[in-house]
Amino acid sequence: MARRAHTRPGHSPISAVCFAGLGDLAARELTPLIETEVKRTRIRNYDHLSFGVRAENLPRLRELRIVEDVLIDLGRLSKIERSADLARLGAIVSKDAVLAAVQAKNRFDDRRSGSRKTTTFACFVKQDKDRNLRRSEVSSKVEMLVAQQFPRWRCHDPAQLEIWVFWSGPATFAVRLTDEAFKYRGMKPPQREAALRPTLAAAMVAVANPREDEIVLDPMCGTGTLLLEGLAFNARAKFIGSDVSHDAIALAESRLGDQATLRIADALESLHDDPVDCILCNLPWGHQYSVSESLYRDLIGNFKRTLQPSGRMVLLTDQAQMLESAFTDSGVEWSREARVLVRGKWANIYKAHLRD
């Protein structure tokens, strides 16, 4: 069965995607901006979120920081099992629905207002698993329908108008409102190995929840992404970053200016003269680093000495056993706040605090 996108009266049906495993944190971030339930579906490397938002509040979704992309739904097919099922797509990818989505795209980002009309389009299919019907057949059918209704438009990738299909049994068809710059905050990301994606950094900051006047330290700050996301979350906290790399600190300074205190320092040495309230850190992990239990134990011991008695740590790593062992050896209480798929590896966001 084909269904046009619908939700509560006066609400626009929206899709959003984030890193697989961050769906709960993204839904929590959405709560103040929407009035409907958030439904979550895992589609391989991503969590797909569905919800409704009042049309006049659509531009507020630009405030989201954990979400990678935002889309407006055209409609849904209850199932796609064979080519004949695609015959129902005409009711979803209609001229009126596509034009309404283009108008929503302009409302979402007012910088688009008055710009040239959409002339290029493409369709991309994201599915939860391989199926008998090929993705290319679905995307070709969508592109054919758009071409028939807008003969002056041209199918091309990259495109000004992207239609995404989220296929996990039912298939949701949606027009992308964001562009590639959205997930990078409109800035070209630093070309540095193991650089943290801003959306993942935002999830870590949300877990840390820095408060006004707190001192927040990133002892391996790299180019400063966690610090930038912390400032966006609460600019009234005091942010400090250190790193052993002169090049990384130079890049961080160019991005942060005087918004944070930065210095060159080893995370195993003295980190700050006064105790800090929170340590935020993307620990060494993955194929680019050689890590050991002793390294993690030494790091956690130094972090513990740097924290206030009531302080907390929020850390990211794929080395669960090593970090949890280090927590136990250091007498630190901990919890896993999210399990997230990063660069093909499952990592965990941990929150830890000193025992009373």
Same domain, 216 and 122: no
Question: Over 80: is that where the pLDDT of 356 sits?
Answer: no
pLDDT at residue 112 in the model = 52
Question: Over 70: is that where the pLDDT of 1 sits?
Answer: no
Same domain, 170 and 211: no
- Please check whether residue 248 lies inside any domain of the structure: yes
Query: How many CA within 13 A on the CB side of residue 10?
Result: 6
Task: State the residue range of the domain holding 153.
Answer: 2-182
Question: Over 60: is that where the pLDDT of 4 sits?
Answer: no
Q: In terms of DSSP bridges, do strands 46-54 and 39-43 run parallel, antiparallel, or are they unpaired?
A: antiparallel
| Residue appearing with tokens 């409109």 | 186
pLDDT at residue 286 in the model = 74
Residue 141: CATH number of its domain:
3.30.2130.30
| Residue appearing with tokens 């899709």 | 15
Tokens of 167: 């296929």
Residues 289 and 193: their CA atoms lie apart, in Å, by 10
Domain-ending residue, one of 124, 148, 182:
182
Same domain, 242 and 165: no
Instruction: Tell me the per-residue pLDDT of 162-187, one tens digit each, with 9 for 90 and over.
Output: 999 999 989 999 999 999 899 998 87
Same domain, 41 and 140: yes
Average pLDDT of the residues of the chain: 92
Whether 315 contacts 267, CB under 8 Å: no
pLDDT mean over 68-81: 96
Same domain, 313 and 224: yes
- Please check whether residue 300 lies inside any domain of the structure: yes
Residue 45 CB coordination number (10 Å): 14
- Please check whether residue 293 lies inside any domain of the structure: yes
| Number of residues written out for the chain | 356
Residue 316: CATH number of its domain:
3.40.50.150
Classify residue 282 by its DSSP letter: E
Same domain, 229 and 117: no
Q: Say which residue, 314 or 3, is predicted with more confidence.
A: 314
Contacts of 310 (CB under 8 A, 6+ apart): 277, 353, 354
Question: Over 60: is that where the pLDDT of 135 sits?
Answer: yes
Same domain, 173 and 37: yes
Contacts of 111 (CB under 8 A, 6+ apart): none
* Share of the chain residues as helix, strand and coil, in percent rounded to the nearest 5: 35, 30, 35
- Please check whether residue 253 lies inside any domain of the structure: yes
Q: Please state the domain count of the chain.
A: 2
pLDDT tier at 113, thresholds 50, 70, 90: very low
Whether 232 contacts 225, CB under 8 Å: no
